[in-house]
Amino acid sequence: MKQQLLNNLKNIYGWKTKRKIVVISVDDYGNVRLDSKAARKAMDKAGLKVHTRFDAFDTLETTQDLEVLFETLTSVKDVNGNHAVFTPFALPCNIDFEKMQQEGYQEYHYELLPVTYEKLSLKDTNAYNKTWKLWKEGMTKGLMAPQFHGREHFNLKVFKEKLKKRDKEVFTALNNRSYTSIEDTGYKSISLTAAFEFWKFEENNDFNEILMDGLNRFEEVYGYKAIHFNPPGGREHPVIHKTLKEKGVKYIDTPFIKQEHQGEGNYKKVINYTGKKNKLGMIYQVRNVVFEPTHNRGFNWVDYTYKQIEAAFRWHRPAIISSHRVNFCGYIEEDNRKIGIKALRELLKRIVTKWPDVEFMSASELGNLITKNKG
**Residues at the interface with Zn ion (CB under 5 A):** 27-28, 232
**Is the CB of 58 or the CB of 359 nearer to Zn ion?**
58
CB closer to Zn ion, 88 vs 232 = 232
As a whole number of angstroms, the distance between CA 183 and CA 236 comes to: 20
* Gyration radius of the chain over CA positions: 20
Cβ distance to Zn ion smaller for residue 148 or 304: 148
Distance CA 279, CA 282 (A): 7
Q: Compute the distance between CA of residue 219 and CA of residue 306 in angstroms, rounded to an integer.
A: 35
**Shortest gap between Cβ of 150 and Zn ion (angstroms)?**
8
CB-closest chain residue to Zn ion: 27
Distance CA 103, CA 101 (A): 5
Minimum distance of Zn ion from residue 233's CB (angstroms): 5
Dihedral sign (CA 150, 155, 159, 161): positive
Local structure of 58: helix, strand or coil: coil
Q: Which of residues 28 and 292 has its CB atom nearest to Zn ion in the complex?
A: 28
Can you spell out the DSSP letters for 62-93?
PHHHHHHHHHHHTT---TTS----EEEEE-SE
Rounded Cα distance, 319 and 348, in Å: 13
14 vs 232 by CB, closer to Zn ion: 232
CB of 17 to Zn ion, least distance (A): 27
Q: Compute the residue count for the chain.
A: 375
- How many whole angstroms separate alpha carbon 155 and alpha carbon 195? 4
State the nearest-atom distance from the C-beta of 320 to Zn ion, in Å: 16
* Minimum distance of Zn ion from residue 368's CB (angstroms): 23
Q: Which residue in 85, 67, 83, 81 sits closest to 143, CA to CA? A: 85
Q: How far is the CB of 55 from Zn ion (least distance, A)?
A: 14
- Distance in Å, CB of 307 to Zn ion, minimum: 25
| Residue 173 or 352 with smaller CB distance to Zn ion | 173
User: Within 13 Å, how many C-alpha atoms sit on residue 148's CB side?
Assistant: 29
Q: Note whether 363 and 228 are within 8 A (CB).
A: yes
Q: What is the nearest approach in angstroms of Zn ion to the Cβ of residue 54?
A: 9
60 burial via Cβ count (<10 Å: 0-12, 13-18, 19+): buried
Which of 28, 346 has the CB closer to Zn ion? 28
Q: Which of 49, 53, 48 is nearest to 28 (CA)?
A: 53
Residue closer to Zn ion, measured from CB, 84 or 90? 90
**Residue 27 vs 167, nearer CB to Zn ion:** 27
In the complex, minimum distance from the CB of residue 137 to Zn ion, in angstroms, rounded to a whole number:
24
Q: Residue 27 carries which side chain, given as an amino acid letter? A: D
145 contacts 137 by C-beta, under 8 angstroms: no
Label the pairing between strands 20-29 and 319-324.
parallel
